[in-house]
Amino acid sequence: MDSCRIPANASKCSGNTMECFMVLSMQAQKISISILCGLFGTMCVFENSLVLYLIFSSPGIRKKPSYLFIGSLALADILASIIFVCSFVNFHVFNEAGFSKEVFLLQLGGVNTSFSASLSSLLLTALDRYISISRPSEYKLLMTRKRAWTALAVLWVTCATIAGLPLLGWNCCTLDSSCSELFPFVDDNYLSGWICFVVVLLGCIVCAYAHVLWRARQHVAYMEQHQAQAGKQNSRMRMDVMLAKTLAMVLAVLMLCWSPVLVLIIYSIFSRLSDRLRKVFAFCSTLCLLNSMVNPIIYALRSKELFSSLRRVLSHFRRQLKAPEESPEADSTHKSSVIET
């Protein structure tokens, strides 16, 4: 095991750095974490997989940049759920500390990449809505599928690079610097930089949505004044307003679920955490799974196109279930039984 500077409040850990971060001491706490991770993680993977299927199985939906960004968000949530649940339960519940520093930082990098990509996908979606509402006549020229795929590629590469910096050498073992009290091997300076990156993303999203919702409110007022002659333009505006409100709900859920985690991370940089706060952080971390689980529900309830696609899939599934009952074999069996009678 690589030796690093142990957090000041974890000196009782007998020199084993990994065990210093295993804060769940009671069996009831481990069972609770296992149930939360298992429930939220399973639902998250199922729901986001369904969203991806609905998007890419419908030619009309997958051609729209807005839904490409939503698909990126769903993919990021799936990856975050799988990596987070496996690594988190393995570490905190089963107290597995036999893996190397590189393996742990690789797992942590996967979680950070997925979360950063999820947040960045929301930013791209916000910018997409901003262009759609502020410059509607030029939207199709400005936001093409090629530009959308290019933006997504840059997004994922950037997030993976930032999240992989500890694995590449920016960690407290290599630099012999102060380690974080919440994450093994993670340098406090890197954690501060990552928090700044997240805060900038959140700030940009909030600014974009503030403008989008302001323009959406203007469109609502315009539609009320010109309802008689607006026609097709009003229909498009209503779709923009609906999607803007939907994504604002997604952002609100994101802030509610991740604020406790971010606040505790920031607090740990400037002050020492008690064992109780570290346990609170472990439980608050599961809220990220709740956020990933709620997002697809919001899409299904608020997006008419996704909801219509879901109804088509369910209708097709019901027809397939009824098909065996209406097969020729079933009909012939029914007829023969009538003749015998």
Domain boundaries, the chain: 24-309
Cα dihedral value 71, 73, 75, 77, nearest 10? -150
Q: What is the pLDDT of residue 334?
A: 45
How many CA atoms does the CB half-sphere of 140 hold within 13 Å? 2
Partners of 171 in the β-ladder: 186
Can you tell me the mean pLDDT for 145-151?
Answer: 93
CA angle 47, 208, 289 (to 5 degrees): 25
Can you tell me the mean pLDDT for 274-285?
Answer: 86
pLDDT > 80? residue 142: yes
Q: Model pTM?
A: 0.81
Per-residue pLDDT of 201-260, as tens digits, reads 888 888 887 787 777 777 666 666 666 555 555 555 566 666 667 767 777 887 888 889
**Rounded to whole angstroms, what are the CA distances from 118 to 61, 68, 135, 163?**
20, 13, 26, 13
* Percentage with pLDDT > 90 across the chain: 18
Pair 268, 282: CB distance under 8 Å: no
Can you tell me the mean pLDDT for 284-311?
Answer: 82
* Percentage with pLDDT > 70 across the chain: 80
Per-residue pLDDT of 31-60, as tens digits, reads 888 888 889 889 999 999 999 998 888 888
Spatial distance between the Cα atoms of 18 and 185, rounded to a whole number of angstroms:
9
CA angle 217, 218, 221 (to 5 degrees): 90
CATH 1.20.1070.10 for domain 24-309 = yes
Q: What is the pLDDT of residue 223?
A: 65
Pair 93, 24: CB distance under 8 Å: yes
> Within 10 Å of residue 167's Cβ, how many Cβ atoms?
18
Spatial distance between the Cα atoms of 28 and 263, rounded to a whole number of angstroms:
26
